[in-house]
């Protein structure tokens, strides 16, 4: 059973930073890449980033390019998402997900990914 556990969310002011973490259970560690997906209140699921297992390939949602950075630490079975210069529009529940679609696209559904974490809340407010 794949287990993904996110942490690191919180409340920050616009322009602030956070670092999210997603720990993948050792028994499920494998070659599949990992993703961050977010859902703002009243909106659909946005695919924020995909990172290959070797960390050499990362794809980002256009609205977060240059502000967010995703990277993996394979020794710790952990995926990170560094969020810089946060905007109010970044307020959302952020999920770690695995085994998703083959082609990166902005909007996804729950059924598009086989495995999900429980999520961590990011709130950007002045």
The C-alpha atoms of residue 75 and residue 29 are separated, in whole angstroms, by 11
What was the pLDDT predicted at 29?
56
What was the pLDDT predicted at 74?
85
Percent pLDDT > 70 in the chain is 95
Spatial neighbors of 42 by CB under 8 A, at least 6 apart, are none
The C-alpha atoms of residue 70 and residue 50 are separated, in whole angstroms, by 8
- Residue 115's Cβ-side half-sphere holds a number of Cα atoms within 13 Å equal to 19
**Residue numbers of the chain with a pLDDT score lower than 70:** 26-30
Q: pLDDT, tens digit, for every residue of 33-55?
A: 899 999 999 999 999 999 998 88
């Amino acid at each position: 059973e794949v287990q993904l556990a996110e942490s690191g969310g919180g409340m920050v002011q616009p322009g602030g930073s956070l670092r999210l973490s997603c720990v993948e259970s050792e028994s499920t560690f494998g070659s599949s890449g990992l993703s961050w997906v977010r859902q703002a209140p009243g909106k659909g699921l946005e695919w924020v980033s995909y990172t290959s297992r070797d960390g050499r390939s990362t794809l980002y949602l256009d609205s977060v390019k240059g502000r967010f950075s995703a990277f993996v630490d394979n020794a710790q079975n952990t995926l990170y998402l560094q969020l810089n210069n946060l905007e109010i529009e970044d307020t959302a529940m952020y999920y770690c997900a695995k085994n998703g679609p083959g082609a990166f696209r902005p909007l996804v559904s729950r059924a598009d990914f086989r495995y999900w974490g429980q999520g961590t809340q990011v709130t950007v407010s002045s």
